[in-house]
Structure 1
Amino acid sequence: MKVLYYDCFCGISGDMNLAALLDLGVPKEYLIEEISKLKLNYEYEIKIKNDIKHGITGTRVDVILKNQVHNHEHVVEKALDNHQHVHINNDHHEHDHSQHENNNHSNNHEHDENHSHEHDHSHHENHSHSHEHIEEHNHLHKENNNHEHHHRNLNDIENIINSSDLTENVKKLSLHMFMKVAEAEAKVHGKTLYEVHFHEVGAIDSIVDMVGAAICIDYLKVDKIMASPVQVGGGFVKCAHGLMPVPAPATVEILKNIPINTGIVPFETTTPTGAAILAANVQEFTQKIDFSIKKIAYGIGHRDLEIPNVLRVYLGEEQKAEKIEEQYILETNIDDMNPEFYGYVEEKLFGKGALDVYKTVIFMKKGRPGVKLSVLVNEQCEKDILDVIFDETTSIGARKYKVEKIMLSREFSKVKTKYGDITIKKSYYKGKLAKYKPEYEECRSIAKEKNITLEDVYKEVYREASDI
């Protein structure tokens, strides 16, 4: 089974995820070609290059907005994710100097990778950089006509994705991630899904991050996606709504029910886009790595921190044998007991811990019809089961033999139906979903309560669970 594992020791953002998956082996030409199917190329440019943080080499991705105003007084507004720091490399931009002069900017700077400019540190949060980075948590983006940047809502994004030539799976993955953000933003701001304007997540660079994630995940064709607990950072982040605690409200809403770590650095290390990528795609969050690692890759972040600002991902293989348990069969042949007693005896056996009880019609010596009572047990309940057999039946002896029980791995989940949430049991073989079925007792209760047939309930569950 092919496994993708996210090691989020320094959190995750949309651009770090994209960089890590490219570093893992997704061809950059493939990503650029596929993402061009959104037909938004006129709005952005993707820069992909090798980079290094704290001696760790990896891939860095910059999604650059075309026609973006560059302000030499240290305010360039570019959001990679909701509430994320923004870093622009000087060597990635051409500047309209007449525009800079009109805005009273000085244009006689010499830009050099190893030169550090003097900045107003209120915009830098006391960080120094080896080349000019401009960081600002302001969410009002401007184009070079100085108008406010257009913020798309969920309907806009759905139209862009659904009208594209992307594969159906990529569309489905992309929309699932955007829905995670929309649900969080709607709850935080007290709005409906389609009232929410995504601000930065609706900006083109974050659309590229989200849809790019779907393209890369689809390309890798992994059987399972896992992740470590997510480091979110600490302190406060400045955004359009003012100072927000880290993790920002939208981020923590998305990460609900997901294990997190906090405070490794006094900055935001996980953004809403990064959180949505994990929440929508990861099946298991664990620190346990019980698969063989075949490839390691790094997505380089844009911040200079005390720890490496990188996202590490593993591509591995999991050889997961089906679960085998040693159990026992206790059985006895009965030909002289009132048949009415069998139902009562079965209830008592299950009550004492029997794993399974079944009856087989047999013919005994001299042609007498009888019943073979078989009980599957483990060592812990064996004595109690024998007590029931000898106390409650006419048996005067029982056979015992060891068996191996081979079980598919199982998990339970809820399916939303028009009759309410109903539990289904899913069984996996060789790491893949082999079958699933509704829980009988829940369906039975609903059928009685609603005065409908049991078959109607089952049909509704299978209809709603068809895309599992």
Structure 2
Amino acid sequence: MKRILYYDCFAGISGDMNLGALVDLGVDAAYLEKELGKLNIEGFHLEVEPDMRKGISGTKVTVVVENPENEKHRHLSHIEDLINKSSLSDRIKKKSLAIFMQVAEAEAKVHNISKEKVHFHEVGALDSIADIVGAAICQEYLEVDEIHSSPVQLGGGFVKCAHGTMPVPAPATAEIVAGIPVKTGLVNYEACTPTGAAILAATVDCFSENMELSIIKTGYGIGQRDGEIPNVLRVYLAESKNEQVQDVVEEEAVMLECNLDDMNPERYSHVMDLLFAAGAADVFMTPLVMKKSRPGHMLSVLCNHDTVGNMKEILFVETSSIGLREHTLKKSMLRREIVLVHTLYGDVEVKRSYWNGRVVNEKPEFEQCRKLALEHGVTLEEISKEVTKNL
């Protein structure tokens, strides 16, 4: 049974909220501070205290920088040197650097420079270094097999940062969360900081609102704000429900649909080819009867969150539709493997599917069977029998 750390980012995430949540979940605060001491830098300490937001009690962790006026900005090479020269474990070093790399690559893209030239401001300060390395320390302390997360609340409004006043999400945050399911507008402030976004982007194995887990313990990290929405990060220590689902991969997907009754059907295959080429997981047509009894078709496109924009562009530009329906769903897929089968007529790839550790379906690659049938002047049925015999 897998041990899971689940981030419920209903109100966003920041570096200090993350530390608070993981300490509240069971990470020893004294151990965290001792491990941070291995960085061999002075000038900060942790304040750990119980706190409450809207009746929800949790833990608030604040990284106190003792002489902020002496703080210096750092480049990526300085951060890498600091972490690599520490006595932290290799796993913590690797995870810490992966989080920092998320920020460096985002900043580099925003400013159109190489990541080596990125001049860290807020994220290069002592408090952010402690937040990021502390995140790696806490996650390793919990010894989980996987890390999952809900979609991330970004907030709204504007935020002041080193480059001036920016819309939420800040440009770097927007780059970091690319491909991650997000929500906006719950609060009128920056709910997800670049540090919080980078922690999730670098460490989370899958994002999903559908949490099918057995919860062992819940922790709450208290944020700096106190508004109508509780400024907390909720985390769960959990276990996967049942080992029998090990052969099933579950993930969120998006279904786009539009109805067509005034488009030349000859163009359908062209549109479908474009959608598949752009990354659609599946495309299919369903016959239907439209208003005034006109025959039509519903075009359905199954895709990932990060390809939705491309799919919409193709549908609006290449079809006669002027409106789409969109909804999120969960899809379950059996574990598959490709097996090469040697036959009298040649080699054929067979797609094999598993459920609960046993094979439940074996399907030869049709185009390969068809090619062999034509080359050898035999029927498809003969090729199929030969493949089955040699499985």
TM-score (norm 2): 0.65
Task: Give distance in 2, aligned partners of 1:293 and 1:393.
Answer: 51
- 2:60 maps to what in 1? 60
1:297 and 2:219 aligned: yes
1:265 and 2:267 aligned: no
The percent identity for this pair of structures is: 52
Q: In the alignment, which of 134, 141, 146 is matched to residue 219 of structure 1?
A: 141
Alignment of 1:93-108 (within 5 A): none
CA drift at 1:155: 1.1
CA drift at 1:45: 1.9
C-alpha RMSD over aligned residues: 3.1
More helix by share: 2
What amino acid sits opposite 1:26 in the alignment? V
> After superposition, what is the alpha-carbon deviation per residue over 1:220-273, rounded to whole angstroms, capped at 9, x for unaligned?
110000000000001111223222110000001011111100011111000000
Task: Give distance in 1, aligned partners of 2:82 and 2:351.
Answer: 53
Task: Give distance in 2, aligned partners of 1:234 and 1:18.
Answer: 23
Alignment of 1:82-121 (within 5 A): none
Cα 1:200–1:291 change in 2 (3 A) is same
Task: Give distance in 1, aligned partners of 2:85 and 2:379.
Answer: 71
Task: Give distance in 2, aligned partners of 1:197 and 1:38.
Answer: 20
Question: Which of 234-243 and 19-28 deviates more?
Answer: 234-243
> After superposition, what is the alpha-carbon deviation per residue over 1:148-196, rounded to whole angstroms, capped at 9, x for unaligned?
x311111111111111111111111111111111111111112211211
- 1:6 maps to what in 2? 7
What amino acid sits opposite 2:93 in the alignment? K
Higher Rg of the two aligned structures? 1
* Partners of 2:102 and 2:202 within 8 A in 1: yes
- 1:138 maps to what in 2? none
- 1:306 maps to what in 2? 228
1:166 is paired with a residue of what secondary structure? coil
2:228 is paired with a residue of what secondary structure? coil
- 2:268 maps to what in 1? none
Alignment of 1:420-431 (within 5 A): none
Cα 1:271–1:391 change in 2 (3 A) is same
1:343 and 2:265 aligned: no
Task: Give distance in 2, aligned partners of 1:393 and 1:63.
Answer: 70
> After superposition, what is the alpha-carbon deviation per residue over 1:281-308, rounded to whole angstroms, capped at 9, x for unaligned?
0010001111100000000000112100
CA drift at 1:392: 5.2
> After superposition, what is the alpha-carbon deviation per residue over 1:341-381, rounded to whole angstroms, capped at 9, x for unaligned?
9427x76xx7xxx746xxxxxxxxxxxxxxxxxx9657xx9
1:191 is paired with a residue of what secondary structure? coil
What amino acid sits opposite 2:216 in the alignment? K
* Partners of 2:121 and 2:162 within 8 A in 1: no
* Partners of 2:46 and 2:64 within 8 A in 1: yes
CA drift at 1:199: 0.6
CA drift at 1:19: 0.5
Q: In the alignment, which of 153, 157, 167 is matched to residue 231 of structure 1?
A: 153
- 2:327 maps to what in 1? none
CA drift at 1:14: 0.2
Alignment of 1:96-245 (within 5 A): 142-143=69-70, 149-245=71-167
CA drift at 1:313: 0.1
Cα 1:275–1:376 change in 2 (3 A) is closer
Cα 1:308–1:393 change in 2 (3 A) is closer
Task: Give distance in 1, aligned partners of 2:116 and 2:380.
Answer: 64
- Structure 1 gaps of 5+ residues are 69-141, 144-148, 327-340, 357-374, 401-468
Task: Give distance in 2, aligned partners of 1:393 and 1:247.
Answer: 58
Pairs aligned (count)? 278
- 1:48 maps to what in 2? 48
Task: Give distance in 2, aligned partners of 1:165 and 1:246.
Answer: 37
Task: Give distance in 2, aligned partners of 1:60 and 1:233.
Answer: 20
Task: Give distance in 1, aligned partners of 2:17 and 2:29.
Answer: 14
What amino acid sits opposite 1:239 in the alignment? C
> After superposition, what is the alpha-carbon deviation per residue over 1:30-77, rounded to whole angstroms, capped at 9, x for unaligned?
00111011122x311210000000000000011111134xxxxxxxxx
1:194 is paired with a residue of what secondary structure? helix
1:37 and 2:30 aligned: no
Task: Give distance in 2, aligned partners of 1:285 and 1:163.
Answer: 33
2:109 is paired with a residue of what secondary structure? helix
Task: Give distance in 2, aligned partners of 1:226 and 1:39.
Answer: 32
- Structure 2 gaps of 5+ residues are 249-332, 335-342, 353-359
More strand by share: 2
Task: Give distance in 2, aligned partners of 1:233 and 1:202.
Answer: 23
2:117 is paired with a residue of what secondary structure? coil
Task: Give distance in 2, aligned partners of 1:185 and 1:260.
Answer: 20
2:18 is paired with a residue of what secondary structure? helix
> After superposition, what is the alpha-carbon deviation per residue over 1:415-455, rounded to whole angstroms, capped at 9, x for unaligned?
xxxxxxxxxxxxxxxxxxxxxxxxxxxxxxxxxxxxxxxxx
Cα 1:392–1:286 change in 2 (3 A) is closer
